Amino acid sequence: MKSEKMQKHAYLIIANRNPGQLQTLLTLLDDSRNDIYLLVDRKSVGYPRDFQLNYATLFSVSPLVIDWGSYSQIEAEMRLFQAAAPGKYAYYHLLSGLDLPLANQDEIHAFFSAHPGKEFITYSSQASGAQF
């Protein structure tokens, strides 16, 4: 049987604005089966650095100046993965601070438990310039 740590999920979040929505996201992820890693864009002036959770453990990752869509965004992702990697989680979820889950934590954990070891990646292609 896998250890409890191996069953946990790591949520890796890059945030830069709308701290109220980030608090909503953190509240929705606040579950003892999750650890949360948060990196806030250093340019975010007046952004709170402390968020209160009841069940999940929140890890703050050193801030970084992020120019969205540039290599600094990839560097932020890599910092989050490096911070979380020693935990050897069952799954790693990369999110923006503006994302919100469409299912509750029981549904999310049940889905991934039913598909152990599977990776889920979404992509889309641009059919035409008219989409923009």
- Write out pLDDT tens, residues 38-60: 999 999 877 777 788 999 999 99
C-beta of residue 16 within 8 angstroms of C-beta of residue 98 = no
Divide the 132 residues of the chain into consecutive groups of 10 and give the mean pLDDT of each group.
66 93 96 97 82 94 91 96 95 95 96 91 69 50
Environment class of 63 (CB within 10 Å of its CB; exposed 0-12, middle 13-18, buried 19+): middle
